Amino acid sequence: MISIKTPEEIRIMKEGGNILARVLAKVAAQVKPGVTTQDLDKAAEALILKYKATPAFKGYMGFPAAMCTSVNEEIVHCFPSGRVLKEGDIICLDLGLKYKGFYSDMAMTVAVGKISRQIKKLLDVARKSLDLAIKKVKPGVAVSQIGELIEGFIEGKGFGVVRELCGHGIGKEIHEDPQVPNYFDEKAKTILKEGMVICIEPMITMGDWRIKKAKDGYGFQTKDSSFAAHFEHTIAVTKKGSEVLTK
């Protein structure tokens, strides 16, 4: 069932989303060679608690940490660990929090030091696909149209679009209806309405889009071990179009 948020509920979600964006920006600034993914997770949790919010992911379906840290061929949901980041790596920082009873969710993929031109293009295309999708959001648009736009843009740039994972609604639960695929799915017939809040999160690959379980047994990585990038925002559907709540 899809929930429609009141203006007051969206205001609270925006307040929480602003906190999340600040936290993630501070964590991203700490990404450099020699840092462990566990270091970044600890920093994220400490900042969330400082803002009197709650880590959304910790304990969710057995997840042991505040933040998902997925490196290189890993796409999403990987555990933080003692893994040391190296020059040329990329890392997806995926973080959520609960604030005044409502969730927000956000992700970005960050370069570790200098990266190759092709990997930089991967990150740029993933980020741009999310920007384009956000501009598409308005009442009357079908969820399938958002996926169609993302798929067309990414594949037109020569990258793959992950099909086995998708975006989602969000509110009093971290994952709500509707599902928001990153490719055209004729079954995604939900029409956006004012007051809906969704997470759009393109996940793209340098090689084949097919995925498998990551080495930690929880997250996912590309089946062919090609690099992947992931960006996400929490977005409210407004009368005039879209409002990014996580900025």
Residues whose CB is less than 8 angstroms from the CB of residue 245 and which lie 6 or more positions away in sequence, other chains included: 10, 13, 14, 16, 17, 18, 104, 197, 233, 234, 235, 236
171 within a domain of the structure (yes/no): yes
Contact predicate 182/162, CB 8 Å: yes
pLDDT given for residue 1 in this prediction? 87
13 within a domain of the structure (yes/no): yes
Contact predicate 133/142, CB 8 Å: no
110 within a domain of the structure (yes/no): yes
pLDDT given for residue 45 in this prediction? 98
pLDDT along the chain (247 residues), means of 10: 96 98 98 98 98 96 96 97 97 98 98 98 98 98 98 98 97 98 95 98 97 94 98 97 97
CATH code: domain of residue 62:
3.90.230.10
180 within a domain of the structure (yes/no): yes
129 within a domain of the structure (yes/no): yes
pLDDT in tens, 25-38: 999 999 999 999 99
pLDDT in tens, 178-187: 999 999 999 9
Partners of 70 in the beta sheet? 92
Q: Phi/psi of residue 124, each to 5°?
A: -65, -45
Partners of 36 in the beta sheet? 84
Percent of the chain at pLDDT above 70?
100
- What is the residue range of 84's domain? 7-244
How many domains does one find in the chain? 1
pLDDT given for residue 113 in this prediction? 97
1 within a domain of the structure (yes/no): no
150 within a domain of the structure (yes/no): yes
